[in-house]
Amino acid sequence: MIREMTAADIPAGLRLCRAARWNQTERDWHTFLTAAPHGALVAEENGVVTGSVATMPYGPFTWVSMVLVDPNARGKGVGTRLLERGLALVPSDITARLDATPAGEVLYRQLGFLAEYRLARWFREPLSRRTRAGGARPLERADWPSIREVDLLAFGASRLKLLERLAREAPEYAWVLEHEAGGLRGFLFGRHGHVREHLGPLVADEHDSARDLLETCLASQPDRAIFIDVPDDQVTWRDALSRAGFAMERPFLRMYRGSLTAPGNPSSIFAIAGPEFG
């Protein structure tokens, strides 16, 4: 049976995350259920939740994620049925987007998804020493109008509520970088995770701005283990991550189904919010 997910199912969703060694927390599940109260589904067998899928509406497109199946239920078509039902929640005139793992890419292509660009998850262990700080400063309330404008151009849709949640729950990861003459050069947010802290989104006008934002954040929290998800096309940026002690863990492929009328500006994206949020 496939049914709507409710808050009572969050412990089961966390169990699926832990079985898959994913990084999501209880707050992440609440974010999905708050943004789209009827947009997440679970598969259930004999009263036990065996799988999940979630959707996040962003205006011109809907993000599809959290396609998880209990290891004991794999190979029975649970994931495919969940994904098909989840996609049915996306209006016909709205584009579906997602970040696919290599294992899921084959299925998504069969369902009509096309490739946008490739990404990879990078990680870094805690450091025992403080690193160089960049020129960024902590987020202030007056920055929100500029952040909304810059993020809308980069991402292709407004995700202000998500960014506000990140700033509220992990203010130590909320940074901005300004032009000397005024105006925003970029911003960085982050969140707490089960396995590691997750940095992103990171949006900036150029590589040096992204570096300043990341260096400032890392210098303030050198003892944290970090994930960051980065587009492969940002070659210079990936080299900078390597020099900063990051290593690549696994790839993703950003994909879409439908007419991609609001792709944003990938060249200004140096880290995504995560494959679950886009």
- Give the pLDDT confidence of 60-114 residue by residue, as tens digits: 999 999 999 999 988 888 999 999 999 999 999 999 999 999 989 999 999 999 9
Strand locations in 125-246 (E): 137-138, 175-178, 184-191, 197-204, 226-231
Residue 181 pLDDT exceeds 80: no
**Least confident among 122-126, 136-140, 178-182, 246-250:** 178-182
pLDDT, mean of residues 169-182: 92
Task: Round the average pLDDT of the chain to a whole number and report it.
Answer: 94
Is residue 8 within 8 A of residue 42, CB to CB? The reply is no
Q: Confidence band (pLDDT; 50, 70, 90) for 216?
A: very high
Element (H, E) at 115: strand 114-124
What's the confidence (pLDDT) of residue 143? 96
Is residue 151 within 8 A of residue 263, CB to CB? The reply is no
pLDDT, mean of residues 122-143: 83
Contacts of 32 (CB under 8 A, 6+ apart): 5, 39, 40, 54, 55, 56, 66
DSSP helix/strand/coil, 9: helix
* Residue whose entry in the numeric block shows the structure tokens 């990171």: 202
Element (H, E) at 84: helix 78-88
User: Pick from 48, 57, 49, 119: which is nearest to 86 by CA?
Assistant: 57
Contacts of 117 (CB under 8 A, 6+ apart): 231, 232, 233, 253, 254, 266
pLDDT, mean of residues 138-153: 97
Max distance between CA atoms of the chain, in angstroms, equals 63
Is residue 54 within 8 A of residue 65, CB to CB? The reply is yes
Residues 138 and 73: their CA atoms lie apart, in Å, by 45
DSSP helix/strand/coil, 224: coil
Q: Confidence band (pLDDT; 50, 70, 90) for 130?
A: low
Residues 203 and 189: their CA atoms lie apart, in Å, by 9
